C-alpha cells in the first residue's frame, strides 16, 4: 500500500515538501501550530513567495477543482499520529537570542507533541537543520514517549533546497542524504524518494551524526566561498584590481568553479548566518572549536560587507553625513525570487543609512510586505522608478532580474544624481555608464 506522509511545520521548507510529496503521489497531511498558515494553505495560498509553489499546492490541496485532493492540513496531533507512516519534521531552528547556539525548542516541542500519538509503526524523519547530536537525543525522546514502542523510529534527512528554486530542488534534488539506524528506515526512505532516485539523484546513506554534519558543513563551505571572494574584493580595492575579472579568471579552474564567486554585500537569510554560528557553538561543546575558528572570520568578513557598502555610499556622496540625502534602495529580500527578509543584507544597509539620517526609499518586487513589517520607519515605493525619483544615489542590493532589466536612461530622467552603487556586482557597468551614470561596485575600479 502507498505510504502516507505527514509534514510538521509548513514554512518555506515544510510547505514545499508537503506539496512535493503530494506531487510524487503520496497522501499527505500537514500540520502547523500557526492557524493562519494552515488556513492560507487550505485556500491554496502560500504564506511566502516561492516561484511555482502556489500552482503546485493548488494541484493537490483537497477542495480545488481538478486537484488530486492528496494534500490536507490539520492542527490535530492525534490525527497526524493516526495517519502517517512517515512523519517529516520541518520546523524552524533559529539562532538563540544573545548567543550563537541553535534554538532547538521548536524541534523538541514538535517531537514531544507527536511522539505520544505514535500508536502505529512509524518513521519520524527530521529535516530541520540541527546541531550534530540532536538526532540521537530526539530518538531517545521518541523511544520514551511513543505508545508503539520500538516500532516508532527516527531518521535524519537534511534538506538542501534553495529559496527561489525550492520546488525544483525538492522534486529534483541534487542528492538525498539519509541518516538511519535500521534497514527498515532506509527502505521506507527509498520508497519515499523512489521517483527522484530513479531519475538519477544520488542517495547517500549515513549514520545520524554524519547526516547532521553534511548540512552544516555544506552551508559552511558555501559561506566560505562567498566570504573568500568578498575578502578578495577588499584586496582588489586596496590594490586597484578588479574582483569581477579576478572571479572570472579563477572560476575557469574547474577545481574552483564559477558559482558563488560574485563579490558584494554578502550572504544573509534564515539559514547561512545562523547555521555557521550554531556549527561553531556546537563544535565548542564537542571540544573541536579550533577546527571551526575560521568560520568566525568568514562571518566577520560577511558582516563587514554591509558596513563597507554604507561607507562606499557615504564616500560617493561626498564623504560627509547622510543627512538630507535621498537614497533609493533596490532590493529588500536576502536573495532574488523570494520574499524572505530574514537577516537581509539589503535591509541592513538600508537601515544603517536611515539611522544615520539618510532618507531611504526601498523597492522590492516581492519583499515589500515583510520589509515593512521589519523596518516600518523606512520609506517604500511601489516601483523601482518611484524609488529612484529624486534620489541622490541608487543602491542595488538584491540581484532581481527586474533590476538588471531596468532602463538606466529612463531612471536617469527621474534621479537627482546619476549615481548607481551595485552591491551585487550584477548590473552591466557599460550600460549604466553609457546612460551617464557613475557606476561603482565593491572591488571594482572606478571607471
Size of site (CB under 6 A) for ligand NAD: 27
3-state secondary structure of 57: helix
8 makes contact with ligand NAD (CB under 6 A): yes
Residues sharing a CB contact under 8 Å with residue 123, sequence separation 6 or more, in sequence order = 85, 86, 87, 152, 153, 154, 155, 184, 185, 188, 189
Q: Which stretch binds ligand NAD (CB under 6 A): 103-111, 251-259, 308-316, 320-328?
A: 103-111
Q: Strands across the sheet with 86-89, in order?
A: 71-74, 27-31, 4-8, 86-89, 122-126, 152-156, 176-179, 203-206
Residues flagged as binding site for substrate: 160-163, 215, 260-264, 268, 335
Which residue, 144 or 249, is less far from ligand NAD as judged by CB? Answer: 144
Alpha carbon distances (Å) from 265 to 195, 311, 314, 391: 39, 12, 15, 21
Which residue, 61 or 244, is less far from ligand NAD as judged by CB? Answer: 61
Distance of closest approach, residue 126 Cβ to ligand NAD, in angstroms: 9
104: left (phi over 0), alpha (psi -120 to 50) or beta: alpha
62 makes contact with ligand NAD (CB under 6 A): no
Q: Is 112 exposed, middle or buried (0-12, 13-18, 19+ CB in 10 A)?
A: middle
Burial 13-33, CB ≥16 within 10 A → b, else e: bbbbbbbbbbbbebbbbbbbb
Q: Which of 90, 102, 236, 271 is catalytic?
A: 271
Q: What residue ranges in 127-278 does DSSP mark as E strands?
A: 152-156, 176-179, 203-206
Spatial separation of the C-alpha atoms in residues 282 and 289, rounded to whole Å: 8
Which residue, 88 or 400, is less far from ligand NAD as judged by CB? Answer: 88
20 makes contact with ligand NAD (CB under 6 A): no
39 makes contact with ligand NAD (CB under 6 A): no
Residues flagged as binding site: 32, 37, 93, 129, 160-163, 215, 260-264, 268, 274, 335, 342
Which residues in 116-175 contact ligand NAD (CB under 6 A)? 128-129, 159, 161, 163
91 makes contact with ligand NAD (CB under 6 A): yes
Is residue 243 within 8 A of residue 444, CB to CB? The reply is: yes
Distance of closest approach, residue 168 Cβ to ligand NAD, in angstroms: 13
3-state secondary structure of 270: coil
33 makes contact with ligand NAD (CB under 6 A): yes
Q: Which residue is nearest to ligand NAD (CB)?
A: 11
204 makes contact with ligand NAD (CB under 6 A): no
Distance of closest approach, residue 163 Cβ to ligand NAD, in angstroms: 4
Of 4, 5, 9, 366, the one binding ligand NAD (CB under 6 A) is: 9
85 makes contact with ligand NAD (CB under 6 A): no
Which residues in 258-287 contact ligand NAD (CB under 6 A)? 270-271
Spatial separation of the C-alpha atoms in residues 91 and 9, rounded to whole Å: 5
Distance of closest approach, residue 204 Cβ to ligand NAD, in angstroms: 16
Q: Is 252 exposed, middle or buried (0-12, 13-18, 19+ CB in 10 A)?
A: exposed
| Active-site annotation holds for 102 | no
- What residues does 439 pair with on adjacent strands? 420
Active site residues: 271
The residues of the shown chain that bind ligand NAD, judged by CB under 6 A, are 8-14, 31-34, 37, 90-93, 106, 109-110, 113, 128-129, 159, 161, 163, 270-271
Amino acid at each position: 500500500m502507498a505510504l502516507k506522509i505527514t509534514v510538521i511545520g509548513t514554512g518555506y521548507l515544510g510547505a514545499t515538501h508537503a506539496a512535493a510529496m503530494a506531487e510524487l503521489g503520496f497522501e499527505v497531511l500537514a500540520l502547523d501550530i500557526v492557524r493562519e498558515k494552515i488556513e492560507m494553505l487550505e485556500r491554496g495560498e502560500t504564506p511566502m513567495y516561492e516561484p511555482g509553489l502556489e500552482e503546485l499546492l493548488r494541484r493537490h490541496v483537497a477542495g480545488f477543482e481538478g486537484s488530486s485532493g492528496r494534500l490536507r492540513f490539520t492542527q490535530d496531533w492525534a490525527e497526524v499520529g493516526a495517519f502517517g507512516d512517515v512523519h517529516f519534521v520541518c520546523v524552524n531552528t533559529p539562532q538563540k537570542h544573545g548567543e550563537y547556539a541553535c534554538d532547538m525548542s521548536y524541534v523538541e516541542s514538535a517531537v514531544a507533541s507527536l511522539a505520544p500519538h505514535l500508536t502505529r509503526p512509524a518513521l519520524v524523519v527530521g529535516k530541520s537543520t540541527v546541531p550534530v547530536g540532536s538526532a540521537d537525543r530526539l530518538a531517545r525522546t521518541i523511544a520514551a514517549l511513543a505508545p508503539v514502542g520500538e516500532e516508532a523510529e527516527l531518521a535524519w534527512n537534511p534538506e538542501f533546497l534553495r529559496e527561489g528554486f525550492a520546488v525544483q530542488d525538492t522534486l529534483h534534488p541534487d542528492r538525498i542524504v539519509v541518516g538511519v539506524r535500521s534497514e527498515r528506515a532506509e527502505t521506507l526512505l527509498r520508497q519515499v524518494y523512489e521517483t527522484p532516485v530513479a531519475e538519477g539523484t544520488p542517495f547517500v546513506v549515513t549514520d545520524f551524526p554524519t547526516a547532521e554534519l553534511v548540512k552544516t558543513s555544506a552551508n559552511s563551505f558555501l559561506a566560505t566561498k562567498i566570504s573568500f571572494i568578498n575578502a578578495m574584493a577588499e584586496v582588489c580595492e586596496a590594490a586597484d584590481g578588479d574582483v569581477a575579472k579576478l572571479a572570472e579568471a579563477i572560476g575557469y579552474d574547474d577545481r574552483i568553479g564559477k558559482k558563488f564567486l560574485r563579490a558584494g554585500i554578502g550572504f544573509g537569510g534564515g539559514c547561512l548566518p545562523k547555521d555557521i554560528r550554531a556549527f561553531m557553538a556546537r563544535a565548542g561543546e564537542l571540544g573541536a572549536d579550533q577546527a571551526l575558528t575560521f568560520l568566525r572570520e568568514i562571518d566577520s568578513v560577511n558582516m563587514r560587507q554591509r558596513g563597507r557598502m554604507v561607507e562606499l555610499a557615504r564616500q560617493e556622496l561626498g564623504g560627509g553625513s547622510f543627512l538630507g540625502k535621498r537614497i533609493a534602495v533596490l532590493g529588500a529580500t536576502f536573495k532574488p525570487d523570494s520574499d524572505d527578509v530574514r537577516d537581509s543584507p539589503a535591509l541592513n544597509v538600508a537601515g544603517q543609512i536611515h539611522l544615520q539620517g539618510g532618507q531611504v526609499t526601498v523597492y522590492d518586487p516581492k519583499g515589500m510586505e515583510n520589509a515593512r513589517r521589519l523596518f516600518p520607519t523606512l520609506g517604500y515605493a511601489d516601483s523601482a522608478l518611484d524609488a529612484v525619483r529624486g534620489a541622490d544615489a541608487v543602491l542595488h542590493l538584491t540581484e532581481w532580474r527586474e533590476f538588471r532589466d531596468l532602463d538606466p536612461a529612463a531612471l536617469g530622467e527621474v534621479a537627482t544624481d546619476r549615481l548607481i552603487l551595485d552591491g551585487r556586482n550584477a548590473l552591466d557597468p557599460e550600460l549604466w555608464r553609457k546612460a551617464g551614470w557613475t557606476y561603482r561596485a565593491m572591488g571594482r575600479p572606478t571607471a
